Structure 1
Amino acid sequence: GDLIEKYRRIFKVPDELVIIPFPDTFSAISSLFFLFMDLNDEVVVPEPFPPYILPIVDFAGVKITPIETFHSNGFRLPLRDVLEPLINPRVKLLFYSNPAISTGTLYTPEEIERVLFVSQNYNILMVADESFAFASGEEIQTLLEVARRYTNSISLNRILLPFTGVPTCFLTCGGELGKLLKKFQETIFPVSSGLVRLTYTALDRFSELLPSMSGFLGERKDILYEVVSGFEDFFIIKPDSPPAGVIKLPIKDSTKFVEYLLKEFRMDNRTVFVLPLVKLFHDSKKGKDLVMVDYSNLDVETLKTGLNILYAGVNQYKKEEE
Structure 2
Amino acid sequence: MRIAIGIDNTIPLHIPSFMQFFHTHSKFITLHEIGSKFRFESDEVSYNDEISKFSQPLRDELKSMDMAIFATAIPYENNYFFEGIDDIYILSLSGWSYLTGLPMSNGVAYLICQIIIKYQMQIGGNHDNTTGCINDFFWDKTGIDIGMRTAFVCDRCKTASAENEYLESQEFKEITSILNSISSACRRDVDILSDPETKKIEQNTLKESPATFLCHNNQDKAQVRTLNEALKNVGIRTWLDEEQIGPGDIWQKVLEDTISGIGSCLIIVGNSGLGPWQDIERRAFISEFANRNCKIIPVIIGNPERPPELPLFLKQFQWADLRNPDGRQLAKLISALQV
- TM normalised by structure 2 equals 0.27
The structure showing larger relative contact order (alpha-carbon pairs under 8 Å, at least 6 residues apart) is 1
